[in-house]
Structure 1
Amino acid sequence: MKPIAVIRHSPTEGPGHFATFLERRSLPWTLIRIDQGEAVPRSADGFSGLCLMGGPMSVNDDLAWIPPLLDLIRQTMAADKPVIGHCLGGQLMSRALGGTVIANPVKEIGWGTVRVIDSPLARAWLGDTRQFESFHWHGETFSIPDGATRILESAACANQAFVLGKHLGMQCHVEMTRAMIEAWCESGADEIRDASPADSVQSPTAMQIDIEGRLSALSRHAELLYSRWIEGLSTI
């Protein structure tokens, strides 16, 4: 099998538990470090699927790598290879499919419940799960692209995830590890301070309460989504 391409946009926002999930199943993957100046692949031919991670930038920013990455997303989908996006990655997917990315009514930072939409498609991806606690760190939100179906929502953000065929775009961060949360709390201290007080913004201390238990539960739900996603991988 060809490797899964994992696009990293920020050094502290790597694949996290997504990489652990792939490695436990002996699925090959390769990391493309946009944050270190590596070029966006021109073609999806060398990959079995495409994974997009998060980042502090906006899809609306004038960054040289965004247009070719949007092209790669569309090309990968046209080749019937699955795409998965986490936070910024989900926003890039929405934009590539003709959607929009705008400011969310509030910033959402820390742990928060996401609800599973009551639909056959949502159940196909998440089984009997009705809600779970996910991690969040965003100030913008994507629209649901034409033809896609919303499968997750939260009190602070209506569009938490969408599915289009074998493709999954998420606003929430299901890939989290303890090291990632600790790093984000350190690098994002000013953002947390400026956004507080708000019901949708937690302090670093609150984010790290029962962190191992919360991460264990989150990883179980992430693996439901990831398990469905890898069913669409190209084996050629």
Structure 2
Amino acid sequence: MRINVLQHTPNEGPGMIQDWANAHGHTMFVYHPYQFGHLPTADETDLLVILGGPMSPNDDLPWIKQERVLIQTLLDRDVPMFGACYGAQQISKTLGYPVTKAPAKEVGWAPVYRQSTIIPKLPAKLTVLHWHEEMFAIPDEAEWLFSSDRVANQGFVLNHRVVGLQFHFEPAADNVREMVVNDYPYIQGSVLNQTADEIINMPIPAENRVALETILDYITAEK
């Protein structure tokens, strides 16, 4: 399987998604459209991963619009997709739904709660990394997957092929440190009231890796 990853800032990479890809013998290609403007074609994409970033799907940038063209083509072809944070927002925006300011800026570790059992074996509650102040609207055609105490729209699943999450399952400890040391000013104003050190020193819950792998297995499974 060829996994094409759209990375949107240097400090938010695929993290534990790379481990899953390696364990399954898949090949990963990482694109940086914000810097180089290049995107994969739909024909060479078996799984598209759309990562987070500091931009908004509402920004008037050509490459952001080009991403949505690719997303729409893959939706039409029933190709698996996984979106994290901005990536999930892009999927929702492609489907015609708004991306708006969230009720609260969430930056740091906080629980999310499963709202559907459509993906088997996901825990009812997980402590995850949040890094956002905008949110997607859950598409009518999708199923609500996760919520948090402050922002209800935390995850959706569409047609057994697409999952969008407002939060981050993918960072390992090294990735969290990279996010924080480079983007620590963004922590200011978060309702979670956590310091940079507190975010860095939080042990990565082992169940986050399991949940991420469960989701990736689910969207890439044979129908």
Question: Could you say which TM-score interval applies, normalised by the shorter chain?
Answer: over 0.9
CA–CA distance in structure 1, aligned partners of residues 148 and 102 of structure 2: 12
Residue equivalent to 1:155: 149
Decide which of 220, 224, 234 is 2:210's aligned counterpart.
220
Residue equivalent to 1:25: 24
Report the CA distance shift for 1:75/1:116 in structure 2 as closer, same or farther (over 3 A). same
Report the CA distance shift for 1:133/1:126 in structure 2 as closer, same or farther (over 3 A). farther
CA–CA distance in structure 2, aligned partners of residues 63 and 190 of structure 1: 24
2:42 alignment partner, SS class: coil
Deviation at 1:35, TM superposition (A): 3.3
2:201 alignment partner, SS class: coil
2:119 alignment partner, SS class: helix
CA–CA distance in structure 1, aligned partners of residues 70 and 222 of structure 2: 17
Deviation at 1:88, TM superposition (A): 0.4
Answer whether contact 1:162 1:168 (CA < 8 A) is retained. Answer: yes
2:79 alignment partner, SS class: coil
CA–CA distance in structure 1, aligned partners of residues 144 and 46 of structure 2: 25
CA–CA distance in structure 1, aligned partners of residues 110 and 76 of structure 2: 34
Deviation at 1:62, TM superposition (A): 1.4
Answer whether contact 2:114 2:122 (CA < 8 A) is retained. Answer: no
CA–CA distance in structure 2, aligned partners of residues 146 and 91 of structure 1: 14
Report the CA distance shift for 1:201/1:71 in structure 2 as closer, same or farther (over 3 A). farther
Amino acid at match of 2:114: V
Report the CA distance shift for 1:58/1:158 in structure 2 as closer, same or farther (over 3 A). same
CA–CA distance in structure 1, aligned partners of residues 49 and 166 of structure 2: 14
Counterpart check, 1:206 vs 2:198: yes
Answer whether contact 2:88 2:165 (CA < 8 A) is retained. Answer: yes
1:10-61 residue CA offsets vs partner (Å, 9 max, x unmatched): 11111111111111111122111113314123x3011112110010111111
Residue equivalent to 1:179: 174
**Would you identify which runs of 4 or more consecutive aligned residues in structure 1 move more than 2 Å?**
214-217
Residue equivalent to 1:16: 15
Residue equivalent to 1:59: 57
CA–CA distance in structure 1, aligned partners of residues 214 and 101 of structure 2: 29
Residue equivalent to 2:103: 105
CA–CA distance in structure 2, aligned partners of residues 158 and 74 of structure 1: 25
Deviation at 1:229, TM superposition (A): 1.8
Amino acid at match of 1:176: P
CA–CA distance in structure 2, aligned partners of residues 126 and 201 of structure 1: 33
Identical aligned residues as a percent: 30
Residue equivalent to 2:66: 68
Q: TM-score, normalised by structure 2?
A: 0.93
1:37-91 residue CA offsets vs partner (Å, 9 max, x unmatched): 14123x3011112110010111111112011110100101111211110100000
Aligned residues: 222
CA–CA distance in structure 2, aligned partners of residues 164 and 72 of structure 1: 17
Report the CA distance shift for 1:95/1:210 in structure 2 as closer, same or farther (over 3 A). closer
1:129-175 residue CA offsets vs partner (Å, 9 max, x unmatched): 21111111000000011211111000121011101111111101010
Q: Which runs of 5+ in 1 are unaligned?
A: none
CA–CA distance in structure 2, aligned partners of residues 174 and 123 of structure 1: 18
CA–CA distance in structure 2, aligned partners of residues 102 and 128 of structure 1: 27
1:123 alignment partner, SS class: coil
CA–CA distance in structure 1, aligned partners of residues 195 and 157 of structure 2: 31
